[in-house]
A and B are shown apart, each in its own frame.
Chain A
């Protein structure tokens, strides 16, 4: 469901390591998911999307995995770089108006 106002969980990784960011969604009827990156004071930036008829999708340095059985989404970032430091949100699309609902988010810090 929608964010309930929890503070962001954090993840710290060393530069060059792989990062895995997880997200749980609530509605089994959701059929489209997007990962967004948000830098401080800016709007969300599209990273990668996946539809519910897929389990995995790869982009440049990023991979999204979808497990519909447990309603879980993950974002894998390969060879994490300092520029990847940001807050990452998953968003699910659902509802009659195809609204986007955001997950809690994870704050990623890359240590040089």
Chain B
């Protein structure tokens, strides 16, 4: 079945550094991917919609210069947290829409998430 892979699963970085998280669709092409953030015991909050070949669309209140999103190919989107601070520590989850013949256009697959800890 379709799989969305995130890498790394866990990352610890020092305050002030940048960290990149990858989201890959393994057996389908995804022109649209979504990035979510989740704090412990809270819901998933949509951060941005990643569109292949164009700029990402950010949700209100999300700093686009801090959370850089690049969707350079049909199977890969990356989220870079720049100048990370401890308050950026969170669970980051991506999802990808399968718009191929198998998908209905709204078939969404989620990755397993990436834990970011900023120390």
Point out residues on A near B: beta carbons under 8 Å. 2-3, 5-8, 32, 34, 36, 41-46, 89, 93, 97-105, 107
User: Does B108 reach chain A (CB closer than 8 Å)?
Assistant: yes
CA distance A93 to B25 in the complex (A): 21
Q: Name the residue on A nearest B9 (C-beta).
A: A41
Which residues of B in the span 85-115 have a Cβ within 8 Å of any Cβ on A?
Answer: 91, 93, 95, 97, 106, 108, 110-113, 115
* B39 neighbours in A (Cβ, 8 Å): 5
The answer on a CB contact under 8 Å between B41 and A7 is yes
The answer on a CB contact under 8 Å between B108 and A5 is no
The answer on a CB contact under 8 Å between A41 and B42 is no
User: Does B26 reach chain A (CB closer than 8 Å)?
Assistant: no
The answer on a CB contact under 8 Å between A3 and B42 is yes
The answer on a CB contact under 8 Å between B34 and A100 is yes
Of B42, B95, B97, B111, which is within 8 A of A5 by CB?
B42
Of A36, A42, A102, which is within 8 A of B45 by CB?
A102
User: Does B44 reach chain A (CB closer than 8 Å)?
Assistant: yes
